[in-house]
């Protein structure tokens, strides 16, 4: 969706009157707010929160609550980045798994009043059994001056699959509260069953022997940690 000309003009007028403007976007789906992203110093996106909406928003704006939410869809920079509306094949460019181009906000993106650092990705076994799971651990550090919630996200890339697979696949995440300077190890189980695909010939879900790359970070576009692992 895009803002109407009147809506965008209102944002521009308020920003011109007060450069310290915070834009609040109440929506249940993405908007291509490119001008606002380039020019407005702060943007808060929230869903419809019923009668408690104003109270919740005021706590965020005045710093009484440190937000920790992350986007649950990919926000395109333009509707031209998406396939035709009646094309229901997500492989043609829909969702973070197949999106083409640079989005306005990637899947899993979120900001906070503090900063987090991710390090030391490791697994509890050298291979992922096709009928089992592997425990993925990463160290998360609050490197800022405010307590806040970090959301480490674990994705998988298929390196040598025999069928076409997504460029990226979310397989796990967690949300933890950290005090300033605190470091905590987060354990996220990855089930082999989440890697299955539908085999039309066998009429069944199949987990194939392959090599995968486990990557971790704060969003689908910020994944500094990686480790390759066989599925056997």
Residues 77 and 9 in one domain: yes
On whether residue 107 sits in a domain, the answer given is no
Residues 79 and 165 in one domain: no
Distance CA 162, CA 179 (A): 45
pTM above 0.95, yes or no: no
Residues 159 and 79 in one domain: no
What pLDDT is attached to residue 51?
Answer: 84
Choosing from 67, 98, 129, the residue where a domain stops is: 98
List Cα–Cα distances, 135 to 108, 126, 138, 176, 184, in angstroms. 21, 11, 10, 17, 16
On whether residue 206 sits in a domain, the answer given is yes
Q: Give the residue from 21, 48, 46, 45 showing the smallest Cα distance to 33.
A: 45
Chain centre distance of CA 168: 11
Residue range 158-175, pLDDT digits in tens:
999 999 999 999 999 999
Residues 125 and 221 in one domain: yes
**Domain span including residue 199:** 116-231
Distance CA 61, CA 47 (A): 15
156: domain CATH number is: 2.60.40.10
Tell me the residue ranges of DSSP E strands in the chain.
Answer: 22-26, 42-46, 116-123, 133-142, 148-150, 153-158, 169-173, 176-178, 183-191, 197-199, 204-206, 210-217, 225-231
On whether residue 87 sits in a domain, the answer given is yes
Residues 187 and 121 in one domain: yes
Choosing from 98, 128, 156, the residue where a domain stops is: 98
Residues 148 and 177 in one domain: yes
User: Which residue stretches of the chain have pLDDT < 50?
Assistant: none
Residues 43 and 138 in one domain: no
Helices (H), the chain: 5-17, 34-39, 53-61, 95-98
- In angstroms and rounded to an integer, the radius of gyration of the C-alpha atoms of the chain is 20
Residues 90 and 120 in one domain: no
Q: Give the residue from 103, 102, 91 showing the smallest Cα distance to 169.
A: 91
As given in the structure block, the two tokens for residue 208 are 């194939």
Residues 187 and 85 in one domain: no
What pLDDT is attached to residue 5?
Answer: 77
What pLDDT is attached to residue 49?
Answer: 72
Dihedral over Cα of 39, 40, 44, 46: its sign: negative
135, β-bridge pairs: 189
What pLDDT is attached to residue 65?
Answer: 96
> Looking at the 3D structure of the chain, how many domains does it have?
2
What pLDDT is attached to residue 78?
Answer: 93
Residues 19 and 57 in one domain: yes
What pLDDT is attached to residue 224?
Answer: 98
């Amino acid at each position: 969706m895009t803002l109407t000309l009147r809506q965008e003009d209102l944002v521009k007028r308020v920003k011109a009157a007060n450069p310290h403007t915070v834009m609040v976007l109440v929506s249940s789906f993405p908007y291509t707010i490119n001008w606002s992203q380039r020019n407005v110093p702060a943007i808060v996106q929230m869903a419809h929160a019923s009668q408690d909406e104003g109270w919740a928003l005021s706590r965020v704006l005045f710093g009484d609550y440190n937000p920790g939410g992350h986007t649950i869809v990919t926000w395109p920079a333009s509707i031209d980045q998406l396939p035709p509306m009646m094309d229901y094949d997500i492989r043609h460019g829909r969702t973070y798994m197949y999106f083409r181009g640079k989005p306005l906000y990637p899947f899993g993106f979120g900001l906070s009043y503090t900063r987090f650092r991710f390090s030391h990705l490791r697994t509890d076994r050298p291979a992922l059994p096709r009928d089992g799971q592997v425990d993925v651990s990463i160290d998360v550090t609050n490197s800022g001056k405010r307590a806040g919630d970090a959301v480490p996200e674990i994705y998988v890339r298929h390196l040598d699959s025999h069928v076409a697979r997504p460029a990226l696949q979310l397989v796990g995440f967690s949300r933890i509260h950290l005090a300033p300077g605190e470091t905590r190890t987060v354990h996220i189980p990855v089930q082999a069953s989440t890697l299955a695909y539908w085999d039309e010939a066998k009429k069944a879900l199949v987990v194939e022997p392959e090599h995968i790359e486990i990557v971790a970070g704060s969003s689908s576009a910020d994944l500094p940690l990686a480790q390759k692992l066989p599925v056997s």
